[in-house]
A and B are shown apart, each in its own frame.
Chain A
């Protein structure tokens, strides 16, 4: 009984670096195309892949991710496709974790989802619109199938909530760097570093990974200075969108971005 995510994050920490966590949604430009981009990211240094479940109402996402996900939703991409991507990422040698809004899981069935995710080699889930207070059935299913559950903390979270949310996490806790939706940003503000410090103070044993806004090696190096993992989403999706549906070109671009970011997470700017 052990957490795949905690294990990989302990390993990167032991090597004096942060983990690189890449997000890509399943089904853009196609299921195969998205899997190719995920595998390319893994081959070029992503330690963890957030396998995104397409959803019609992604309230936490900015325009870049919305655009890609919209294509996948219209194509009818569903949980079976997601589980296939999870297997492909695991086969490529990285740890897959599913990033999903809650309704697709409820519709699939929480217990069935947990069983199938574990069977596919998935580590667990990140749930942007599920807070621990509403997560009873998921926590029970995750426990039964030995899966990680990653909840989010935000700059607006009170210390009491940091404590209760991190207590419900297994694997790591996702620290949202800014108040806002996904999208690349020119700078990652001090809010992220402050939030990581506050989070570590209440949950010393839990890895803290930072997402929202990171897009290049310099930002990755900066975040790697204070976080255990650097999460990059919109920048990956942007490279695939720019390939305009060309699977080879999209995968190659995702690979190049992963390689660049992989140098960033090894080149920590001391906090």
Chain B
């Protein structure tokens, strides 16, 4: 299995680019800039510096070197046949972003934005984080480039993802728990914007996903598209054909855009984004922004969002901190509206079933975020049948989720797992080896997740 054919081309920020966004950041009717005037100068500065940087050979060389020697790119493509037995017999290939340094796809974007920070001469970076993966990646890049770093994280998430809080602090970042609003990612973003508008002369905001005001959705997409550029070449090389469908979980949407972008022109390839369905979209307790939301303005851009009749943002719910966000990047709203990508919800229980399956069948502990994509593969595989070839993005690893998962499956404290307790999933190729009912029962036994 060689990956030499996909070693990243020097110009990989400039392969055929989608025709969107326009010069002011609009993806069809979505995107744009809905920000205080005080931030416009900084956003203009970022836009210009980014435009210059992405065609600068010196930057591209440094970026490519960091991705190879520091992140460990290209990430492998792993076929998962024992897992695929639960996917209606379809073949499943996983793009292994979990094997990147720091444990998720977030590092791809952060290295680009950290280099950009240095280029515009700022000494301090701030970031928001939900699952903590973007915070960890930002703290990592800040340590690498000698920048000071402050990470805003909802207080609720600092509890759900305590391991990542500790990692950020070890890396020298200041972690600020946010106690306003729902105390999750949306409120962390608000606080980060407040910090930025106050300290913009010295500080760059390293945004973690393809949402926010222009240029973030475009810039983060360009930094993340390496996932799909590599994967497309890897699949072609290995299989001599394109996959039938490409699947990814969607929080703000960066890992999904990252793997989708290379395939957007391939009209025969279905693009499927899996949103966090929480307790089920009909329950109202979910984070399925496109499935259950409507267009509006949040965090600097027009896109789908969860809102009430007064235009107030509605709190989202998901077992996965990284998907627990009531907004979504504008490019996804556009891909949805033009029918190029489909978006479906995956409930907490379905995601945890897929999580358990991947652990037990393949020896890979996925991030709970990524488990939503795996659950999507289980369902789509059953729909498409045995000849289908599915490519799913394994956006991150599950170390950070060990405690949440242990509680869900009733395994006791993360540090004190009873042998053989709860998660009895001796996987045979039967349908639904861990049924939703069993998973829910496991959660109840272990206390609410």
Identify the A interface with B (CB < 8 A): 54-60, 62, 66, 70, 73, 76-79, 102-108, 128-131, 133-134, 151-158, 161, 165, 176, 179-181
| B38 and A56 form a contact (CB under 8 A) | no
Residue in chain A with minimal CB distance to B187: A57
Contact indicator B311/A106 (Cβ below 8 Å): yes
Cβ contacts A to B, 6 pairs, < 8 Å: A59-B190, A59-B299, A104-B311, A106-B296, A108-B311, A131-B34
Task: Determine the distance from Cα of A76 to Cα of B35 in the docked complex, in whole angstroms.
Answer: 24
Q: A106, B37: Cβ atoms under 8 Å?
A: no
Interface size class of B (residues with CB under 8 A): 20 to 34
Which residue of A is nearest B41, CB measured?
A156
A-side contacts of B36, CB under 8 Å: 59-60, 128-129, 152, 154, 176
- Which B residues lie within 8 Å of A54 (CB)? 312
**Contact A105 B194, beta carbon cutoff 8 Å:** no
Closest chain A residue to B305, Cβ basis:
A103
Determine whether the beta carbon of B37 is less than 8 Å from that of A104. Answer: no
Contact: A60 with B24, CB < 8 Å? no
Residues of B within 8 A of A57 (CB): 181, 186, 190, 298-299, 313
Q: Is B7 an interface residue (CB 8 A)?
A: no
Of B55-63, B90-98, B195-203, B372-380, the stretch lying at the interface with chain A is B195-203
B180 touches A161 (CB 8 A): no
CB-nearest residue of chain A relative to B42? A156
A residues near B312, Cβ cutoff 8 Å: 54-56, 73, 104
Q: Which of B24-43 contact A (CB under 8 A)?
A: 24, 32-42
Q: Is the CB of A102 within 8 A of B37?
A: no
Alpha-carbon distance between A70 and B186 when the two chains are bound, in angstroms: 15
For the complex, give the distance between the alpha carbons of A44 and B299 in Å. 37
Q: How distant is A102 from chain B, measured CB to nearest CB, in Å?
A: 5
Which residue from chain B places its CB closest to the CB of A178 in the assembled complex? Answer: B198
Q: Given A106-B311, A131-B37, A156-B38, does the pair A56, B296 have CB atoms closer than 8 Å?
A: no
Q: Is B193 an interface residue (CB 8 A)?
A: yes
Which B residue sits closest to A129, measured CB to CB?
Answer: B34
B41 neighbours in A (Cβ, 8 Å): 154, 156-158, 161
Complex alpha-carbon distance, A104 and B194, angstroms: 20
Q: How far is the CA of A154 from the CA of B41 in the complex (A)?
A: 10
Q: How far is the CB of A229 from chain B (nearest CB, A)?
A: 18
Q: Is B323 an interface residue (CB 8 A)?
A: no
Given the known A-B contacts A57-B190, A180-B198, are A103 and B37 also in contact in the complex, defined by CB atoms under 8 Å? no
Report A-chain residues with C-beta under 8 Å of the C-beta of B282: none
Which B residues contact A (CB, under 8 angstroms)?
24, 32-42, 180-181, 186, 190, 193-194, 197-201, 296-300, 307, 309-313
Q: Is the CB of A78 within 8 A of B310?
A: yes
Q: Give the distance in Å from the alpha carbon of A73 to the alpha carbon of B181 in the complex.
A: 10
Given contacts A131-B37, A179-B38, A179-B198, could you give 12 more A-B pairs where the C-beta distance is less than 8 Å?
A56-B312, A73-B312, A103-B313, A130-B34, A134-B32, A134-B33, A154-B40, A156-B38, A156-B40, A176-B37, A181-B194, A181-B198
Max chain A Cβ within 10 angstroms of own Cβ: one of B37, B38, B180: B37
For residue B24, which residue of chain A has the nearest CB? A133
| Cα–Cα, bound, A66→B181 (Å) | 9
Q: A153-B37, A179-B38 are in contact. Are A105 and B311 (CB under 8 A)?
A: yes
* Shortest CB distance A193–B (Å): 17
Residue contact B313 to A179, C-beta cutoff 8 Å: no
CB pair B307–A107 under 8 Å, yes or no, is yes
The answer, among B24, B35, B37, for a CB contact under 8 Å with A151, is: B37
Assuming the A-B contacts A179-B197, A179-B198, are A107 and B309 also in contact, with contact meaning beta carbons closer than 8 angstroms in the complex?
A: yes
Q: How many angstroms from the CA of A105 to the CA of B336 in the assembled complex?
A: 24
Interfacial chain A residues near B32, Cβ < 8 Å? 133-134
The residue on B at minimum CB distance from A62 is B194
**What residues of B have a CB within 8 angstroms of the CB of A181 in the complex?**
194, 197-198
Q: Tell me which residues across on chain A come within 8 A of B198, comparing CB atoms.
A: 179-181
* Chain A residues within an 8 Å CB radius of B42: 156
Which residues of B have CB within 8 Å of A58?
190
